[in-house]
Each structure stands twice: as C-alpha cells, then as structure tokens.
Amino acid sequence: PAFADAESDVAAGSLKLNVRRIGLEWSKTDVKHAAEYSDSPVSALKADSQDFFKGVFDTALEYNKARFQWDNSLFMEYGETKLKPYNEAPTISENADDILLSSNLSYACWNFSGLKFGPTVRGAYDTEFVTSDDTPRQQVIRANAGISLFDNKIIKSLYLTGVYEYDFTYANEKTS
C-alpha cells in the first residue's frame, strides 16, 4: 500500500511557477546652475542631468514528473538612460534590451553514487524590444544537446552540451 501511494505521487508530477525576479530601477539626477560652470576648465565642475530607468521580469514554469524535468522560462529586460547636457539636445541610449524565451528538457536516466544525470536538450529564442536606428530586430535561435547533472545537494545543475546558434537578424536583408 505504501508503495502504491509513492507511485501515484510520481505519476502525478508537479508544476511550479517560479518568479525569479521582477524589478524596476529608476533614478533622476537634476543638475542646477550648470550655466555658471559651463565654461570652467575644471571638468569636475561640469555635470549633466540624467534620467535612468530599467525594468526586469524573469520567470519560469517548471514541470517535474518521475525522472523528467521540463523548464520553460521567459526573461525580459529593458532600460534607457537620458542625458540632458546644458545648452545641448538630450541624448537617449538603451542600457538594456533583451527578450529570451527558452525551454529545457532533461531526463535523469542514470544514478551514480547519488548523482542523477542524463541527456538534456534546450531551445531558445533571443530578441529585443526596440531596434537601434534603421537596423532590423535582433533574432537569434539557439539549440543545445548534451548531458546534464542535476538535483544534487551540492550541485544544482551542471551540463556539458554542444550549441548550435543561428542568427537570422539579417536573413531577409541584402548584405552585399
């Protein structure tokens, strides 16, 4: 009877939403009296007003059943810095711009001295929120396959894989 209960728990599997990080950084530096020091030869007296913001969202949906682990994750990050020099036009630059969607599947088919390991495969799509100037949107696909060690008390995850990466950012563009 106890063995049957353990089997039904394994057959059921578990699904967990892991919200790793949600963050927002924002800062504003406002320089007063910049006009009075604009012609100073001492560079330490010159400063620019600055606005900075950055947002991060990192989450994973993790499914475990018996010896299978399947993780699907979404990582998004975007940030901008706006410099406002005295008597000049402001400049805006990105300090972060990334969207990464990935899926990992691992199977613990071997157990050696408490170490579970087995084959692992991963697929990922990497892109961005905003393109720079007139360039096309970054689009990269990655695929990994290899062997993984996981669920150890000391080593959470360790893997050795081969990686294939295809960048199709300029796939439809004439480059010559």
Q: Is the pLDDT of residue 167 over 60?
A: yes
* 26-35, 38-47, 53-62, 139-148: least confidently modelled range: 38-47
Tens digits of residue pLDDT in 42-101? 776 777 889 999 999 999 999 999 889 999 999 999 999 999 888 889 999 888 999 999
What is the 3-class SS of the chain, one letter each residue?
Answer: CHHHHHHHHHHHCEEEEEEEEEEEEEEEECCCCHHHHCCCCCHHHCCCEEEEEEEEEEEEEEEEECCEEEEEEEEEEEEEEEEECCCCCCEEEEEEEEEEEEEEEEECCEEECCEEEEEEEEEEEEECCCCCCCCCCCEEEEEEEEEEEECCCCCCEEEEEEEEEEECCCCCCCCC
**Contact of 128 with 135, CB cutoff 8 Å:** no
- For residues 75 and 130, the model is more confident at 75
Mean pLDDT (the chain) is 86
